[in-house]
Structure 1
Amino acid sequence: EDPVVAIKIVGQGVGQVSDLDLLLAGVSNAIILCFNLKATPASQAAAEKAKVEVRYYDVIYKLTEDVERAAKGMREPTYRQIREGRVEVITPIKIPRLGIIAGSRVLEGKVTRGGWVKLFRGKEMLHEGRISSLKHFKEDVREMPAGQECGIGLEGFETFTQGDTMETYRLEREEI
């Protein structure tokens, strides 16, 4: 039983896979699971012609494991935010060909180029997105630790104001 993924059984029966089974699976975009059967050359050819996947099992727990794996594969991945740092905007800086970046001081943790950020003005979150550029003076850097000053460019945001704060984070995929 899975609260996110619903598996529908569109038919069941006994005996070899029939043309009707293949037709039903084809129009339902389903696969056929067979337990304790041997594939015949005729049924394999009919399945290939109908472009329907037929799986054969002789051990029941292998069938159930396969169904569970398929259900997990159908789920949308979920991610959790892992906080990495906190940044204060000192001043907006206009950079030719880059636009306006935030001249900033890293207060806690670190900032990573390509990482994620939430930008706040007071208590209001104005923007959430990726860090597109990270500079230390004129040099591109990958990461900037606490206590350092840097220039931070964000995807889709340029209206920085002195005193804005940013929380940086990375996304970590949660296991199902």
Structure 2
Amino acid sequence: SNIIYHITEDIEKALTGMLEPEFKEAYLGRIEIKKVFKVSKVGNIAGCVVVDGKVKNDSNIRILRDGIVMYEGKLSSLKRYKDDAKEVVAGQECGLGVENFNDIKEGDIVEAFEIQEIQRTLK
């Protein structure tokens, strides 16, 4: 380049592309498990009510029992009545299945969150 600041801009762009992105957890909502149903060939399904916020069918979740994290993972299913739901908001009831975890109990709290990717910069 014939102008020096074009070179520095190109170097900054190249270095920025090499930086690993940061990941930030964004809280979505809280769900309280009211009843647990045992379903053959599926496992345990929780009958719940969304206490605040919302939960999406692709949300990451954390199951809390007496303030202790029992499980962290993903939902396997989210239903509103008998239909699959993309999202359930505060005040609504729903049924949910948890991926690779069957030890859900009445009174457990489920926190829904998503991981957001934040591109890092040099400045």
Structure with greater Cα Rg: 1
SS in 2 for 1:100: strand
The offset of 1:99, in angstroms, is 2.6
Q: 1:128 aligns with which of 72, 95, 103?
A: 72
- Structure with higher helix content: 1
Length-normalised TM-score, structure 1 = 0.62
- In structure 2, what residue type is equivalent to 1:133? S
**Cα distance change on mapping 1:119 and 1:60 into 2, 3 Å:** same
Report the equivalent of 1:165. Answer: 109
Q: 2:58 aligns with which of 104, 114, 119?
A: 114
- Structure 2 gaps, min length 5: none
- In structure 2, what residue type is equivalent to 1:157? F
Separation in 2, partners of 1:149, 1:98 = 20
**Cα distance change on mapping 1:101 and 1:59 into 2, 3 Å:** farther
The offset of 1:96, in angstroms, is 4.5
Matches within 5 A, 1:51-130: 57-130=1-74
Deviation readout 1:106-161 (Å, 9 max, x if unpaired): 11111110011111011110111222210112110101111111111222222101
- In structure 1, what residue type is equivalent to 2:46? A
- In structure 2, what residue type is equivalent to 1:139? D
Separation in 2, partners of 1:156, 1:59 = 58
| RMSD of aligned Cα (Å) | 1.6
Q: 2:81 aligns with which of 137, 140, 153?
A: 137
**Cα distance change on mapping 1:71 and 1:139 into 2, 3 Å:** same
SS in 1 for 2:24: strand
Separation in 1, partners of 2:71, 2:102 = 10
Tell me if the contact between 1:81 and 1:172 (Cα under 8 Å) persists in the aligned partners.
Answer: yes
